[in-house]
Chains A and B, each alone.
Chain A
Amino acid sequence: MAAVILDKGLQRSTEGHALWVRFSHWILAASVLTLAVSGFIILMSHPRLYWGAVGNDLTPALFELPISRNYHHGGWTEPLTFFPGAGTGATAIVSQARTYDIFNQNGWARSLHFLAAWFLIVAALIYLAAGLIGGHLRRHVIPRAGELSPRSLWQDILAHVHLPMPRAAGGPPYGPLQKLAYFGVVVLTLPLILVTGLAMAPAVTAAYPVLLDLFGGSQSARTIHFFAFVALMLFLAVHVAMVVLTGFRRQMRAMTLGD
């Protein structure tokens, strides 16, 4: 049954990937990988995540990641107290000076991150504009109501758990899970990760403070930015696995040469 569904897709596929899809796909792929690596290096210099407007080593973290020598580092001077914090039982507002030589490669990592972000923005705009105008998004990416029925989704899940996977043609039409994955990345996660990134930029939030309210503060935005990165990396893992399992050579050929 599962194979039948995919085979049906294989038979119907005559389009392959349009040139603009291939072009934007590889620019997006390179930008996302560069952003992921540089973003991880940026995160390593402060591997603590928070919720709300502010967060630092002297305030409680939501969670911490053991990804650099900065994790739980203990080099701080005696606190200087400004005044008691607001509210009942609040701790004092203090300052402490750092005495620990932290890992920090943000000089190049930040600049590389934003350089890659410009490429991502341009490629995403090309993809979304061409996808909206030509109907690619409506016809091939946005799931139709019927495809989201439990029965349809369940059948597609079953089709994905049988090994070996049937060989698939490169390009649309896509199955319900595939559509959900691409829709989730292109229409939801990439815009979300861009906007949460901008919500951390002081000049941008001064011009558009609504970004702070939208996410509950720039530290919340930073945490959402991190989870969006995790979601993209999970997508990437599954995406590459599916490419390999359904015919690596044919899929790569379809996304580069277009046939």
Chain B
Amino acid sequence: MKTNMLVMSRRKLVTGLASAGGLLLAGCSSRELPPTYGNVLRMGDLLTYRAFRMLLPAQSLAREYAHRDISSSPAVGNTNPADSQQPGFNADRGPLYDRLRSDYFADWRLRVEGRVVRPTSFSLADLKRMPARTQITKHTCEEGWSAIAEWTGVPLRTVLEAAGIQPSARFVNYYAYDDDAEGIDMLDALHPQTILAYGMNGRDLPLAHGAPLRMRVETQLGYKSVKFLERIVVTNEFDDLGKIGSLQNGWAWYVGI
């Protein structure tokens, strides 16, 4: 679980080093890379992202485990977006989530918009009718613990292709019913194991684990696997997602490490 730590005041602390970060951007549009804000830690994150994308073979599958390897799974972060006492409670979407949940998410819709040919909204039934993928994978939390669980859902790629991916698309950002949002690049978005999961360990996704739908990004840390999904926005430029994104809260955007 990542907690919010506003570090925007630090933004200008190391602006002198921004030019060094410029070296990392050579040959790539800065609008297609996470910003550093002149912060030396964000420059390190950018170096790691660029190095991983350059050095690691693309689209390798994360290890999948056997059913007997499934472990107990702590639920951390927000475990109920309708609960105003929880971190990241949103006064507009919280009550809305409560109504949707009381109706077993019958009226819940996942909006897919931005750089797609046909902006679409999908019901849970729509998603369950699409070809499903079940994978037993390890959730690695930035805190240091890990858990193995079985996840069932529809590949993000399938949903994006149903809406039609525009050639200019570079990033996929996703927003939750609490104040959480994350984004990934197209390489991770089209990864076969990046799925929109509605099932966990053989049952419907439990409330604390992100009902009715959560992201699973198996090649990055747990906090990229946002729970309680509300909508997906495809962009051609990098969006730091403002106050609810990782970057402005002092957390790395790319966490394949």
Residues of A within 8 A of B (CB): 42-43, 45-46, 48, 53-59, 76-77, 80, 82-83, 86-87, 93-98, 102, 104-108, 110-112, 114-115, 118, 200-207, 209, 212, 218-219, 222
Chain B positions within 8 Å of A57 at CB level = 74, 145
Residue of A42, A105, A111, A114 near B144 (CB, 8 A) is A42
Interface residues of B in 69-119 (CB under 8 A from A): 69-76, 79
Could you tell me the distance between the alpha carbons of A97 and B86 in the complex, rounded to whole angstroms? Answer: 12
Give the top 10 A-B pairs by smallest Cβ distance, nearest first.
Answer: A203-B256, A115-B44, A46-B144, A58-B72, A86-B68, A56-B145, A111-B41, A107-B250, A82-B201, A201-B257
Output the least CB separation between A215 and chain B (Å). Answer: 13
Residue of B nearest to A45 (CB): B143
B63 interfacial contact with A, CB 8 Å: yes
Q: Mark B197-213, 1 if CB is under 8 A from A, else 0.
A: 00011110010110000
CB nearest neighbor in A for B249: A107
A206-B60 CB under 8 A given contacts A93-B70, A104-B1, A201-B256:
yes
A108: chain B residues at CB < 8 Å are 5, 7, 41, 250
Which of chain A's residues have a CB closer than 8 A to the CB of B251? 106-107, 111
User: In the complex, are the beta carbons of A83 and B75 less than 8 A apart?
Assistant: no
Take A53-B138, A86-B67, A110-B252 as given contacts and tell me if A98 and B74 are in contact as well, using a CB distance cutoff of 8 Å: yes
Give the chain A neighbours of B69 by CB distance below 8 A.
Answer: 53-54
Contacts of B209 in A (CB 8 A): 95
A218 & B146 in contact (Cβ 8 Å cutoff) = yes
Residues of A within 8 A of B220 (CB): 202-203
Give CA–CA (A196, B216) in the complex, Å. 24
> A56-B73, A202-B220, A202-B256 are contacts. A114–B145 as well, Cβ < 8 Å?
no
Taking a contact as CB atoms under 8 Å apart, the answer to whether A202 and B145 are in contact is: no
B180 CB → nearest A CB, Å: 15
Whether, in the assembled complex, B11 has its beta carbon less than 8 Å from a beta carbon of chain A, the answer is no
Determine if B60 and A104 form an interchain contact, defined as CB atoms under 8 angstroms apart. Answer: no
Contacts of A102 in B (CB 8 A): 1, 143
B148 at interface (Cβ–Cβ under 8 A)?
yes
The residue among B56, B67, B218 with the most chain A CB atoms within 10 A of its own CB is: B56
In the bound assembly, the distance between CA atoms of A30 and B74 in angstroms comes to 36
Q: Is B142 an interface residue (CB 8 A)?
A: yes
Given contacts A86-B68, A106-B2, A114-B48, contact A46 B143 (CB under 8 A): yes
- Min C-beta distance of B149 to chain A, whole Å: 8
Main secondary structure of the interface of A (DSSP, over half): mixed
Contact A95 B72 (CB under 8 A): yes
Is A206's CB under 8 angstroms from B62's CB?
Answer: yes
CB distance from B55 to the nearest CB of A (A): 9
Supply 25 A–B pairs (Cβ within 8 Å), ascending by A: A54-B145, A54-B147, A57-B74, A58-B74, A76-B74, A80-B206, A82-B201, A94-B72, A95-B75, A95-B209, A97-B76, A97-B79, A104-B2, A106-B143, A107-B2, A107-B250, A108-B5, A110-B255, A115-B41, A200-B140, A202-B140, A204-B256, A206-B60, A207-B56, A209-B63
Query: Smallest distance from the beta carbon of B231 to chain A beta carbons, Å?
Result: 25
Q: With a CB–CB cut-off of 8 A, which chain B residues contact A219?
A: 146
User: Known pairs A58-B73, A95-B208. 5 more at Cβ < 8 A?
Assistant: A56-B72, A58-B74, A115-B47, A202-B218, A203-B220
Please, which residue of chain B has its CB at the minimum distance from the CB of A86? B68
Bound-complex Cα distance A102 to B75 (A): 13
Nearest chain A residue, comparing its CB with the CB of B61: A206
Q: From residue A17, how far is it (CB to closest CB) to chain B in Å?
A: 28
B42 interface residue (CB < 8 Å to A)? yes
Q: Is the CB of B44 within 8 A of A118?
A: yes
